[in-house]
Amino acid sequence: DAKTTQPNSMESNEEEPVHLPCNHSTISGTDYIHWYRQLPSQGPEYVIHGLTSNVNNRMASLAIAEDRKSSTLILHRATLRDAAVYYCILWPNSGYALNFGKGTSLLVTP
């Protein structure tokens, strides 16, 4: 299965934008890029996903590189409630994601 690489941790100040990177150099043409986040002691929560074009929703934006080998999750204004582990995973169009990896632990400071 195609793998992703994310930094172990990142830190941001409250009210500032956050850019969370993800590398997926072995992505295949039919893999969707999904982002989830997990707050402490809770199950993961869907954030956003895309295939080729950049995507926006009420939670975040997803910027996908032209060659699709990397993507960036953008939180426009970080809040304390955004402190979580963020997972970038590749979801085959005709299969199942296997592992979420360790993700990026985002610390937001006031």
Partner 1 sequence: SQTIHQWPATLVQPVGSPLSLECTVEGTSNPNLYWYRQAAGRGLQLLFYSVGIGQISSEVPQNLSASRPQDRQFILSSKKLLLSDSGFYLCAWSVRGGGETQYFGPGTRLLVL
Q: Which residues bind partner 1 (CB under 8 A)?
A: 30, 32, 34, 36, 41-46, 49, 87, 91-103
Name the minimum Å distance from CB 94 to partner 1: 4
Nearer residue to partner 1 within complex by CB, 50 or 78:
50
Nearer residue to partner 1 within complex by CB, 30 or 52:
30
Residue 16: CB atoms within 10 A of its CB come to 12
108 vs 34: CA distance, rounded Å: 22
Full strand arrangement of the beta sheet holding 18-23: 18-23, 70-75, 61-64, 55-56
Nearer residue to partner 1 within complex by CB, 42 or 110:
42
